[in-house]
Amino acid sequence: MPRATTVFVCSACAAETPRWMGQCPGCNAWNTLVEENRGAAARKGGGGAPRAAATRPTRLAEVAAERHARLHTGIGELDRVLGGGLVPGSLVLLGGSPGIGKSTLTNMALGNLEGAGRKTLYVSGEESAAQIRLRAERLPGAALQVPVLAETDLDTVLATMEAEAPDVCVVDSVQTLHASDLTGAAGSVGQVREVADRITRVAKQRNIAVLLVGHVTKEGALAGPRVLEHLVDCVLQFEGERERTYRTLRALKNRFGSTNDVGVFEMKSGGLVEVQDASARFVGEATRAPGSVVLAAMEGSRPLLVEVQALVSPSELVPPRRVVNGIDRNRLALVLAVLARHAGIGAGSADVFVNVAGGVRIDEPGADLAVALAVASAVRGVTMGESTPIACFGEIGLTGELRSVAHDDRRRAEAAKFGLSPVLSPGPETPTLRAAVRAALGAPLARVAA
């Protein structure tokens, strides 16, 4: 039997070389050579394999679509983000910062599945079995009954998966497994691609639902080759700050469900606890002080009320500081410019601090009005709202107009559920930012020179 070999392929021009070099000999690009497996028959002069016969394509109407019952993890927020549970034979990539709770979430899911009579397997390349037990002891359910394999060799992991044939398998993490027939270190581009490809084959053949835990880069993106995200069926991002208790789980890709759902968790001593009504937590903690406003945001298809706080103070620095937490810093700069030019409230020489309470990150343009009103309230030192905090949402245009955003009715319904009414939003009574600030602060505004 011919011995398998490896070649290095340029990701830019597809040129091949038998050994790694810093610069591609074909296109002169740097650091683009990636190791790949090639059989001896594929080498030049080795006599290629016989050409495959053509296969008749099948019309989609004639294809039998099988309906697989989903595997429920027992964690409602996770099942909802997945689209109803795990699909047998699917691959789910779960990414997140170190210490955010990825292992805790997967341990809890496997424990619930094991308690429901499903066969499970937990493969760990980062921790020993003793370390995993210490974490499982504080988790609810049958977490201690989950079979554990502490191994980094890919061949051993695949052999165990085929022998045990679990319904669900967790690999924590995909960057720690090592294919012995590749020379690269574990976690390199070639290794991660080969590991994911072989696990995919076994998962599809054995109908095993696999949860791959992945590392992230300093910028927060999933580490490894981009092909990893294309290879899997679902990509989940676990976000939050380790110093805070709240965590959010969102789907960046889902072949078996929607990417509009978001799950909210709270980290406690006994593991992750689902937050069924996150708005109640955030509204209950909202303060009625200058610089505080409630934003009616949308996390996917889920309305969420969060508190936006602003602090404006005199600065001795040039330029003054602009510190944000939970929103885009560039968006704050845009809001401050429009607020000064079209609403007569300037903070050009002051330090501006804006924070979304609870460690939640909001990336939608509907948060513009909340940021503007919070800053305006902090500048004027005026509390908005008589007995309850002001709730608002809306996008701000560069000419000072308020633009409508999606799911207007759902945002208002969520605010009304907690007694936050009326809600400031784009409409006939508040068509501009100036009108919205006047309505919120209840005081005349200075005219802005043209």
- pLDDT of 125: 92
Q: Is 314 annotated as a binding residue?
A: no
Read off the pTM.
Answer: 0.75
Q: Is 102 annotated as a binding residue?
A: yes
CA distance 148 to 128: 9
Q: Please report the beta strands in 390-445, taking only residues with DSSP state E, as ranges in sequence order.
A: 391-392, 395-396, 402-403, 423-424
Within its chain, how far is the Cα of 337 from the centroid? 30
Q: Is 98 annotated as a binding residue?
A: yes
Q: Is 253 annotated as a binding residue?
A: no
Arithmetic mean of pLDDT over the chain? 87
Cβ distance 305 to 294 under 8 Å?
yes
Q: Is 96 annotated as a binding residue?
A: yes
Facing residues of 392 across strands?
295, 424
> pLDDT (tens digit, 9 = 90+) per residue, 29-41?
888 888 877 654 4
Contacts of residue 310, defined as CB under 8 A and 6 or more positions apart, other chains included, come to 291, 292, 352, 353, 354, 355, 371, 374, 375, 377, 378
At residue 248, what is the residue type?
A: T
pLDDT at 44 over 50: no
Sign of the Cα torsion 103, 109, 110, 112 reads: positive
> pLDDT (tens digit, 9 = 90+) per residue, 72-117?
999 999 998 999 999 999 999 999 888 889 999 999 999 999 999 9
Question: Quick one: what percent of the chain has pLDDT higher than 90?
Answer: 52
pLDDT at 222 over 90: no
Task: List the structure tokens of 162.
Answer: 């085929």
Q: Is 377 annotated as a binding residue?
A: no
- pLDDT of 447: 35
pLDDT at 450 over 60: no
